[in-house]
Amino acid sequence: MTAEAQTPNAAFKPRIFSGIQPSGGLTLGNYLGALKRFAEKQDEGIETIYCLVDLHAITVWQDPEALRRQTREAAAGFIAAGVDPSRSILFNQSQVGAHAELGWLFNCVARLGWMNRMTQFKDKAGKNTEHVSLGLYAYPSLMAADILLYHATQVPVGEDQKQHVELTRDIAAKFNHDYKTDFFPIPESVIEGAATRVMSLRDGTKKMSKSDPSDASRINLTDDADAIAKKIRKAKTDPEPLPETLDGLKDRPEARNLVNIYAALAGHTPEQVIADFAGAQFGTFKPALADLAVAKLEPISTEMKRLATDPAEIDRILGEGAARADAIARPILERTYEIMGMVRSR
Ligand code: AQP
């Protein structure tokens, strides 16, 4: 089903929504693909709503104490990366019950055939589809609820989430069609920057991920300067020097990944990076990248450590954000129930 033919979003106030799972420590991939841009979006004059999607995190078993710690740590990561709780709404998903309620309603709108095409489910379930949770399978309809609960029109994400935003568009379009309404906007994914898919430092064909068993595969936002430099020094590469043009990186995924990371951290294009480092060996490029990464990431990890000393303040921020989010979400959920024919009498 194509969503393009549906109602344009002109009738909706522009609004940004995005989220990150507190299913582990935040990585450089989360930072460049999401967090850094979440902070930049605050300057565009559009309302920004950011969520720690703890209900998504539990689609894979989480130790309760670890989940609490990771949620607070991720909230500190958002703030340290520049998400300002007075300019954005920042909260954790489970504190706004409307997410789970709309997620159920959308389970009844989404089609099994659509879910069967989701590559993230296939990647995460692997050959184990009989034993993963039902929640992991239904994940994309809860994600559609996260976005549409706020009538969000824009969703900044990394490349890996594009398919889920497309499914959100399909759910919104089917709901509007089935109930002869134009109640939900058709949101757009916003995938921008030089590093929309940061790859593992050990394998340039695999996404950098917080749940990769190898810590050497990723840079964590809590890593100190030594750890960052060591991981970059040991990052898998090939024996060739950097080429004269970007075309020369076509079949060199690890080299391309490091160039993209450099570009995204420096705020340059990959073309500019290649122009600056054409012909350089990794023995020259890697230390330059490590210096840049430390300069950009160390202030974030220092601020995260400072914020972590006051978990009560983090909880206060998340609670206040949840109350503000709920005030937007509740009327949208109530109207959805009415459109679907539920009696609402209390
Ligand atoms: N490697 C990446 N490159 C660019 N963007 C990335 N994102 C994640 N990894 C990269 C973006 O970060 C946001 C939040 O993602 P998430 O944590 O909710 O889920 P995920 O994509 O499943 O991330 P992980 O790290 O791989 O988590 P686990 O290991 O728990 O599954 C999204 O915008 C995503 O695009």
Which residues share a beta bridge with 48? 16
151: which residues sit within 8 A by CB, 6+ positions away?
12, 13, 15, 184, 185, 332
Residue pLDDT, tens place only, 220-238: 999 999 999 999 999 999 9
User: Which pLDDT belongs to residue 211?
Assistant: 87
Q: Does ligand 1 come within 6 angstroms of the Cβ of 23?
A: yes
- Band (127; pLDDT cuts 50, 70, 90): confident
User: Which pLDDT belongs to residue 4?
Assistant: 43
Q: Tokens 């134009």 sit at which residue?
A: 182
Residue of 17, 20, 30 to test ligand 1 pocket, by largest number of atoms within 8 Å of CB? 30
Output the CA 209–ligand 1 centroid distance in Å: 6
Rounded Cα distance, 54 and 36, in Å:
20
User: Which pLDDT belongs to residue 331?
Assistant: 98
**pLDDT surpassing 90 at residue 5:** no
Which residues share a beta bridge with 20? 52
Rounded Cα distance, 199 and 218, in Å:
8
Active site residues: 124, 207, 210
Are 313 and 306 within 8 A, CB to CB? no
Question: CA 94, 132, 205: angle at the middle one, nearest 5?
Answer: 95
> What would the mean pLDDT of 203-210 be, rounded to a whole number?
95
Query: In 179-310, where does DSSP find H-type helix?
Result: 225-234, 253-266, 270-277, 282-308
Query: What is the enclosing helix (H) or strand (E) of 70?
Result: helix 64-80
What is this structure's pTM?
0.94
Residue 13 tokens, joined? 């106030």
Q: Does ligand 1 come within 6 angstroms of the Cβ of 189?
A: no
Output the CA 223–ligand 1 centroid distance in Å: 18
User: Which pLDDT belongs to residue 8?
Assistant: 66
> What would the mean pLDDT of 111-135 be, rounded to a whole number?
94
Are 198 and 209 within 8 A, CB to CB? no
Q: Does ligand 1 come within 6 angstroms of the Cβ of 33?
A: yes
Q: Strand order of the sheet with strand 154-156? A: 89-92, 47-52, 15-20, 154-156, 188-190
**pLDDT surpassing 50 at residue 6:** no
Q: Does ligand 1 come within 6 angstroms of the Cβ of 300?
A: no
User: Which pLDDT belongs to residue 1?
Assistant: 43
Residue 188 tokens, joined? 């757009």
Least confident of 3-7, 62-66, 103-107: 3-7
Are 211 and 24 within 8 A, CB to CB? yes
Residue of 63, 118, 161 to test ligand 1 pocket, by largest number of atoms within 8 Å of CB? 161
Residue of 18, 21, 212 to test ligand 1 pocket, by largest number of atoms within 8 Å of CB? 21
**pLDDT surpassing 80 at residue 112:** yes
Are 295 and 65 within 8 A, CB to CB? no
Task: Supply the DSSP symbol for 31.
Answer: I
Q: Does ligand 1 come within 6 angstroms of the Cβ of 73?
A: no
Residue 9: HSE in the Cβ half-sphere, 13 Å Cα cutoff: 17
Rounded Cα distance, 194 and 260, in Å:
6
Residue 217, judged by CB atoms within 10 A of its CB (0-12, 13-18, 19+), counts as buried
Phi-psi region of 245 (alpha: psi -120 to 50; beta: other; left: phi over 0): beta
Q: Does ligand 1 come within 6 angstroms of the Cβ of 211?
A: yes
Residues in the chain: 346
Distance of CA 84 to the CA centre of its chain: 17
Which residues share a beta bridge with 156? 190
Percent of the chain with pLDDT strictly greater than 70:
98
Average pLDDT, the chain: 96
Rounded Cα distance, 36 and 38, in Å:
6
Are 171 and 148 within 8 A, CB to CB? yes
Q: Does ligand 1 come within 6 angstroms of the Cβ of 208?
A: yes
229: which residues sit within 8 A by CB, 6+ positions away?
287, 290, 293, 294
Residue closest to 240 by CA, chosen among 189, 203, 283: 283
- Please tell me whether residue 17 adopts helix, strand or coil conformation: strand
Are 208 and 198 within 8 A, CB to CB? yes
